[in-house]
Chain A
Amino acid sequence: MIMKEYGLYAVLALLTILVSTVASNLLSVGGITPDLLLLVVVAVALTKGQFAAIIFGFASGLIFDLISTDVVGSNALVKMLAGYVAGFFWREGSTVSESIGSLRYVTVTLLCAFVHNAVYYLLYTRPADIPFVEFYLKNGVAAALYTTALALLPYFYASRRREEGA
């Protein structure tokens, strides 16, 4: 049962990576793209705990680095950190619909997106002549808000399932 759940998350992560890579242009609004993989990492953290989220974040981030043209290791690092941060909000014994179907999921996604983007853009702008603060405020904040807006979709779906189950 546990393996089945992890398998489901792995398939979800692969699908998310493929959609992010192939359809990034369709999701882009004014050059800003959401981080779909982050939504899965936060979901894993809230349902399976911090340790699982750290491993999952690192592995899925590394696969994303290999498939995309990004620097290998960069997404592995930031996704792992996002899993680490999100893991602090894990409540042992809570079900999937309880974890994702509460506003906690959206709030934690927002927090993780800010942390994730801050670290990523710090690494990104460091070797170039690009002002970090200005760059982060323009791209990082917008991307974090966009990602959080998309977190509302699994939230509404899970909360509806939760109400149906109650």
Chain B
Amino acid sequence: MQRVVEWLIRYREHVVTTLLSVIAISLMSYGNVTQLGGFRALIIGGLGMLQEAFAWIPNPVALQRENRALRQINMELLQETMVLRRAGIENEQLRRMLALRQQSRLPLLSASVIGKTVFRTRQFITIDRGTTSGVRVGMNVITDAGLVGTIVGASSNYSIVQTLFNRDVRVSARIVSTRDEGIIVWDGFEYLLAQNIPKSHRVNVGDTVVTSGLSTRFVPEIPIGIIRSVINDPNSMFHRITVEPNVEFWRLEQVFVIMQLPPTEHAELERSLQKYIEQRMRGK
């Protein structure tokens, strides 16, 4: 016994490292921080206040990039205005002719981005709306350009949005022109990938990708991005499709929260299915 104790003391660094590694890996397999409930809301509230207090400090690199982008956008907008004026008149005439119904509007809540958090490559934004404004975990966040992400944490006055540039995000999506459906994931860099679209289906560069609505996590028909390239991978049955997101995540200032949650029963059913699949994959 004494020998064991002596051995443990002698190699305590290695023993403790092994033990703590096991603890850390167990914690990781347990799940993410969203399961910590009230504690997390407290942290979000505190950090939200701090981020709001320091929101006025500019990042010079980001400002320079933003200025360049704004000048570019300004030029493009000038050209687009001309086209849109003509299209607006034409659209008005067509609408009247076809007596199109006004599309139903989603219940939206405007919010300001008060903080951007970049943990290595995970991107989150903090917004100045929380549970007192009716924001709940799971609600979608958009801009006029398209989908930003979902609320993953909310305190009374602040919420954290997980953007599409995140390993954990998977969006059920549809290509507008062909109605092909796939899964949108982050490619790890600056674009998204549309997965699970078979090579037998024709996909065109420039096509728009929107949320499909097949999953309850995202409201259908929200624009996601434009197909930038389609690569023929000889080792796969599927296209490798790169999608350029519509939303420029690094210069978000104002967003809208879609104030609706998926129907509970449907969402519950999807969650239980996902849990079942995860258990099967772990071999339980």
CB distance from A80 to the nearest CB of B (A): 5
Q: Among residues 101 to 120 in chain B, which have CB atoms less than 8 Å away from a CB atom of chain A?
A: 115-120
Q: In whole angstroms, how far apart are the Cα atoms of A112 and B160 in the complex?
A: 31
Say if the beta carbon of B54 comes within 8 Å of chain A. Answer: yes
Interface hub of B28, B54, B152, B168 (most chain A Cβ within 10 A): B28
In contact, B13 and A87 (Cβ under 8 angstroms): yes
Say if the beta carbon of A164 comes within 8 Å of chain B. Answer: no
Given contacts A28-B59, A50-B13, contact A76 B20 (CB under 8 A): yes
Say if the beta carbon of A95 comes within 8 Å of chain B. Answer: no
Say if the beta carbon of A166 comes within 8 Å of chain B. Answer: no
Q: In whole angstroms, how far apart are the Cα atoms of A87 and B13 in the complex?
A: 9
Contacts of B21 in A (CB 8 A): 77, 80-81
In contact, B54 and A22 (Cβ under 8 angstroms): yes
- Per the CB 8 Å criterion, the residue count for chain B at the interface is 50
Given contacts A23-B54, A128-B186, A130-B167, contact A72 B13 (CB under 8 A): no
Total A-B residue contacts, Cβ distance less than 8 Å: 139
Given contacts A71-B28, A135-B188, contact A25 B116 (CB under 8 A): yes
* Closest Cβ neighbor of A123 among chain B residues: B28
In contact, A139 and B121 (Cβ under 8 angstroms): yes
Interface size class of A (residues with CB under 8 A): 35 or more
Quick one: CB contact mask for A114-145 with B, threshold 8 Å, 1 for yes? Answer: 00010011011101111100110011000100
Say if the beta carbon of B51 comes within 8 Å of chain A. Answer: yes
Of B31-39, B131-139, B208-216, the segment with at least 4 beta carbons within 8 Å of chain A is B31-39
In contact, A130 and B186 (Cβ under 8 angstroms): yes
Contacts of A102 in B (CB 8 A): none
Q: What DSSP secondary structure best describes chain A's contact surface? A: helix
Say if the beta carbon of A14 comes within 8 Å of chain B. Answer: no
CB distance from B169 to the nearest CB of A (A): 10
Q: In whole angstroms, how far apart are the Cα atoms of A51 and B187 in the complex?
A: 39
Q: In whole angstroms, how far apart are the Cα atoms of A28 and B63 in the complex?
A: 12
Say if the beta carbon of A93 comes within 8 Å of chain B. Answer: no
CB distance from B166 to the nearest CB of A (A): 9
In contact, B20 and A74 (Cβ under 8 angstroms): no
Contacts of A70 in B (CB 8 A): 33, 119, 122
In contact, B17 and A80 (Cβ under 8 angstroms): yes
Say if the beta carbon of A103 comes within 8 Å of chain B. Answer: no
Interface hub of A51, A58, A72, A117 (most chain B Cβ within 10 A): A72
Contacts of B78 in A (CB 8 A): none
Q: In whole angstroms, how far apart are the Cα atoms of A26 and B50 in the complex?
A: 14
Contacts of B27 in A (CB 8 A): 62, 65, 72-73, 76
In contact, B119 and A69 (Cβ under 8 angstroms): yes
Say if the beta carbon of B57 comes within 8 Å of chain A. Answer: yes
* Closest Cβ neighbor of B170 among chain A residues: A128
Q: In whole angstroms, how far apart are the Cα atoms of A21 and B21 in the complex?
A: 24
CB distance from B3 to the nearest CB of A (A): 21
Q: Kindly identify which residue among A25, A29, A128, A143 contacts B117, using a CB–CB cutoff of 8 Å.
A: A25
Residues of B within 8 A of A (CB): 12-13, 16-17, 20-21, 23-28, 30-33, 36, 39, 43, 47, 50-51, 54, 57, 59, 61-62, 115-122, 124, 152-153, 160, 162, 167-168, 185-189, 193, 195, 250
Extra contacts, 18 of them, besides A54-B17, A130-B187, A135-B121 (Cβ < 8 A), are: A18-B50, A21-B47, A31-B118, A58-B20, A62-B27, A69-B119, A69-B153, A70-B33, A71-B32, A72-B31, A72-B32, A73-B24, A74-B24, A76-B24, A81-B21, A117-B120, A128-B188, A130-B188
